[in-house]
């Protein structure tokens, strides 16, 4: 991934004329790109790790797998949130890990953790580096140094059980590589978050990721059958059977632990046969309320689409303002919904028909397959658009939450108002777009995209807006994160989510498995 932007530089897209016009008309942003720093111009904080420690780590993993070069430290200097990318543009001294270490075996991970615990070195596990909540920020804290523990060498399909439908994948396997490795055996994982092209199996597990096909295949934590985790005090090999009553499920403790309790080295996952058929259909609804009611009816009936998502009026309107048509016809207003269906020929068709009947009964109007197919083809491209917006002088960021169906519209209004009002105080109007991307029988996620003009200290500008939005989420019945995780950015609200006793329990677990506190300090645990 590019050090100061999202993903592959070759995939970057210039802003369309329609989008430039919208920025100027709605936000007063002229879309003139500012000069960008080159990697050679970046000044990193000098490495604080000692020669003694470097030599010791080199003995453990091999000298070729330890680096203090700026070219290796810079790509691991943070994740891919808007604040991360804004900090990369800083002409002053930037923070970075003091060294990068790439273990290749579980024994090497265990030895690294033992050494770092003994010598006061913080360890930040690193997969694809796609965190948007400060999850891989190299926070040194009270430690002498901080290393980035890159797991890319854990890159194999370790085993596959075609009878049971389970596969063991190394933590460093990326989303596309997982699909390729499984596809050779006729299987698929079906986990497609927006970070799919770069994020890793270990990262998916550590953050309880949720992919765009969650309506059909569930969240990543639903797929986890087992985990291997290395802690500073020993190894945990969790998950022995499809289900168990042997006390609390410790897999749930380490799924979502964000590298603070241990280093996930491999994950045993439920996999499914590659789909024989895929059906697509897009819909338009009169308004967001009508569309949400329709999605709720589909989910509560159990009709079973693989993908089901709904854009609100603002998000649909922005899409219409920057494209010529949707579904082969010009439409205005309303809310766009996307559905897809995968499986055997018969099963995909049956679920499509059942869902179609429900959506029609709730006022949906079909737009045919084309918009849903177009969405699938471009579904990983939105972060590239953010790069262009930031470079053009616009502020663009996302945040997400989830709540019950009964509370959905109240929470959406509260978060939207908090963002619009706070950004207005900085002197800019804001476009706040929202969509439902994950549904459950009792509720759904809300995913917000915010675009405004950059004003003054942009990091401070966004921090105020994000704080207002988080306070609105906590105060109006939402979760502080549905799938982006907690990281450093949401940690201040974690006690509000789990209560003081819950925070005490987390700290007790942390003290047990990581008594020196070296694992990913400053994240998750309040």
> What's the average model confidence in pLDDT over 407-429?
98
3-state secondary structure at position 482: coil
pLDDT at 277: 98
3-state secondary structure at position 357: helix
pLDDT at 328: 47
pLDDT at 43: 95
> What's the average model confidence in pLDDT over 175-200?
97
pLDDT at 80: 97
pLDDT at 13: 83
- What is the Cα–Cα distance from 408 to 412, expressed in whole angstroms? 6
> What's the average model confidence in pLDDT over 195-218?
97
Arithmetic mean of pLDDT over the chain: 95
pLDDT of 331 above 60: no
> What's the average model confidence in pLDDT over 364-370?
95
pLDDT of 153 above 60: yes
485: phi then psi, degrees, rounded to nearest 5: 85, -175
The pLDDT tens digits for 27-58 are 999 877 777 889 999 999 999 999 999 999 99
The pLDDT tens digits for 235-286 are 999 999 999 999 999 999 999 999 999 999 999 999 999 999 999 999 999 9
Residue 332's pLDDT band (cuts 50, 70, 90): low
Residue 322's pLDDT band (cuts 50, 70, 90): low
- The pair of three-digit structure tokens given for residue 2, joined into one six-digit string: 């590019």
**Sequence-distant (≥ 6) Cβ neighbours of residue 59 within 8 angstroms:** none
The pLDDT tens digits for 445-470 are 999 999 999 999 999 999 999 999 99
The pLDDT tens digits for 375-405 are 999 999 889 999 999 999 999 999 999 999 9
pTM: 0.96
DSSP 97-137: -SEEE---SHHHHHHHHHHHHHTTEEEEEESS---SSSTT-
**Sequence-distant (≥ 6) Cβ neighbours of residue 54 within 8 angstroms:** 66, 68, 99
pLDDT at 267: 98
Higher pLDDT: 36 or 486? It is 486
């Amino acid at each position: 991934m590019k050090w100061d932007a999202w993903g592959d530089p070759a995939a970057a897209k210039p802003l369309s004329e329609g989008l430039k016009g919208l920025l100027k008309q709605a936000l007063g942003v002229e879309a003139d790109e500012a000069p960008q720093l080159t990697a050679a111009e970046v000044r990193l904080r000098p490495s604080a790790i000692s020669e003694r420690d470097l030599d010791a780590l080199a003995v453990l993993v091999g000298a070729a797998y330890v680096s203090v070069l700026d070219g290796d430290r810079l790509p691991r200097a943070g994740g891919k949130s808007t604040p991360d990318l804004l900090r990369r543009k800083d002409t002053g001294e930037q923070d970075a890990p003091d060294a990068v270490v790439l273990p290749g075996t579980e024994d090497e991970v265990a030895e690294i953790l033992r050494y770092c615990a003994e010598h006061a070195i913080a360890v930040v596990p690193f997969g694809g580096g796609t965190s948007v909540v400060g999850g891989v920020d190299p926070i040194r804290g009270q430690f002498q140094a901080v290393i980035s523990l890159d797991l890319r060498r854990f890159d194999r399909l370790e085993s596959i059980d075609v009878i049971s439908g389970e596969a063991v994948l190394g933590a460093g396997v990326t989303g596309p590589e997982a699909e390729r490795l499984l596809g050779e055996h006729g299987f698929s994982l079906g986990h497609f978050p927006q970070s799919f092209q770069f994020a890793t199996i270990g990262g998916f597990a550590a953050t309880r990721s949720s992919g765009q096909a969650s309506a059909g295949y569930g969240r990543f934590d639903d797929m986890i059958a087992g985990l291997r985790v290395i802690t500073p005090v020993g190894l945990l090999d969790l998950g022995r059977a499809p289900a168990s009553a042997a006390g609390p499920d410790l897999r749930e403790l380490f799924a979502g632990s964000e590298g603070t309790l241990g280093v996930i080295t491999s994950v045993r996952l439920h996999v499914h046969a590659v789909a024989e058929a895929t059906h697509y259909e897009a819909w338009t609804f009169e308004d967001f309320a009508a569309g949400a009611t329709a999605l709720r009816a589909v989910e509560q009936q159990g009709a079973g689409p693989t993908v089901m998502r709904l854009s609100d009026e603002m998000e649909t309107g922005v899409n219409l303002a920057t494209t010529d048509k949707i579904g082969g016809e010009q439409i205005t207003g309303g809310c766009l919904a996307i559905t897809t269906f995968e499986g055997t020929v018969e099963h995909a068709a049956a679920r499509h028909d059942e869902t179609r009947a429900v959506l029609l009964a709730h006022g949906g109007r079909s737009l045919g397959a084309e918009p849903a197919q177009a969405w699938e083809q471009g579904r990983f491209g939105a972060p590239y658009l953010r790069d262009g917006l930031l470079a053009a002088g616009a502020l663009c960021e996302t945040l997400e939450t989830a709540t019950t169906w009964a509370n959905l519209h109240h929470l959406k209004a509260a978060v939207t108002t908090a963002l619009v009002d706070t950004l207005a105080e900085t002197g800019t109007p804001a476009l706040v777009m929202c969509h439902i991307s994950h549904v459950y029988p009792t509720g759904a996620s809300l995913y917000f995209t915010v675009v405004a003009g950059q004003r003054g200290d942009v990091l401070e500008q966004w921090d105020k807006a994000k704080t207002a939005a988080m306070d609105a989420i906590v105060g109006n019945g939402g979760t502080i994160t549905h799938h982006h995780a907690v990281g450093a950015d949401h940690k201040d609200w974690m006690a509000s989510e789990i209560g003081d006793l819950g925070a005490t329990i987390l700290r007790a677990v942390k003290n047990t498995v990581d008594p020196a506190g070296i694992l990913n300090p400053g994240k998750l645990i309040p």
